[in-house]
Chains A and B, each alone.
Chain A
Amino acid sequence: MLKKVFCITLFAVLLVSAASAKTKLIFWEFMMKDDTAKVVLEEFEALNPDIEVEFVQLSWATGFDKIVTAFAANSAPDVLELGNTWVANFANEGVLSDISSEVEKYPEIIGWNQSEYDGKTWGYPWLLGTRAMYYNIDLFIQAGLDPENPPETWAELIEAAKKIDALGDDVYGFGMGTGEPQTPWQEWFLPAVWGNNGNILSADMRTATMDSKEVIEAAKMYQELSKYSLKTKSSDLSEVFGTGKVGMWIAQAGNISKFSSTYPDMNFMVCFVPKPSHENGFHASFAGGEILTIPSSSKNKEAAKRLVEFLISTNVTMKITKRVPSIFPSTMEAGEDPWFEDHTLEYIFFEQNAMAVPAPQHPKWVDIQFKLSEAIESIVLDNTDVESTFKKYNTQIQKILDEFNN
Chain B
Amino acid sequence: MKKATKNRLVLFAFLSPWIILFSIFGLYPILFSFFVSFTKYSGLNPNMEFVGLDNYFKAFNDEVFIISLKNTLFFVFGTIPFTTGIALVIAILLNNKKLKGRNFFKAGFFLPSVISMVVISMMWTYMYSSNGLFNSLASFMGFQVEDRSWLASTKTALPAIMIMDVWAAFGYYVILIFAGLQSIPEQLYEAARIDGASPFKISVKVTLPLLKPTLFFVIAINTIRSFQIFSEIYTMTGGGPRNSTQTIVHYLYEVSFRKFEMGYGSAIAYILLMIIMVLTLIQKKLLRSDV
Contact = CB atoms under 8 A, between A and B. Distances in A.
Given A68-B257, A373-B240, A245 B152 contact: no
Contact of B152 (A72, A179, A378): A179
Contact of B258 (A72, A235, A245, A366): A366
Interface residues of A, number: 39
A71 B262 CA distance: 14
Interface in B112-164: 129-131, 144, 146-149, 151-154, 157
Contact of B242 (A231, A364, A377): A377
Nearest to B243: A374
B242 A240 contact: no
B152 A178 contact: yes
Given A72-B44, A230-B147, A239 B129 contact: yes
B238 A181 contact: yes
B242 A72 contact: no
B28 to A, nearest CB: 14
B154 A232 contact: no
Contact of A239 (B44, B130, B153, B257): B130
B44 A90 contact: yes
B152 A181 contact: no
A236 B258 contact: no
Interface in B90-124: none
Q: How large is the interface on B (under 10, 10 to 19, 20 to 34, 35 or more residues)?
A: 20 to 34
B44 A179 contact: no
A247 to B, nearest CB: 13
A185 B147 CA distance: 21
Contacts of A240: 130-131, 147
A93 B42 contact: yes
Interface string A352-388: 0000000000001011001001100110011000000
Contact of B157 (A179, A181, A370): A179
Interface string A169-184: 1101000001111000
Contact of A170 (B44, B147, B238, B257): B147
- Which of B64, B146, B241 gathers most chain A CB within 10 Å? B241
A240 B259 CA distance: 34
A235 B129 contact: yes
B182 interface: no
A94 interface: yes
B183 interface: no
User: Which of B42, B63, B237, B257 gathers most chain A CB within 10 Å?
Assistant: B42
B239 interface: yes
Interface string B223-248: 00000000000000111111100000
B240 A232 contact: no
Contacts of B44: 68, 71-72, 90, 93, 95
A243 interface: yes
A64 B254 CA distance: 12
B242 A381 contact: yes
A170 B135 CA distance: 12
Contacts of A178: 152, 241
B43 interface: yes
A396 B64 CA distance: 11
A100 to B, nearest CB: 21
B260 A93 contact: yes
A395 B130 CA distance: 35
Interface of A: 64-65, 68, 71-72, 89-90, 93-95, 169-170, 172, 178-181, 230-233, 235-237, 239-240, 243, 245, 364, 366-367, 370, 373-374, 377-378, 381-382, 396
Interface of B: 42-45, 63-64, 129-131, 144, 146-149, 151-154, 157, 237-243, 257-260
7 contacts: A72-B44, A90-B44, A235-B129, A240-B131, A378-B242, A381-B241, A396-B63
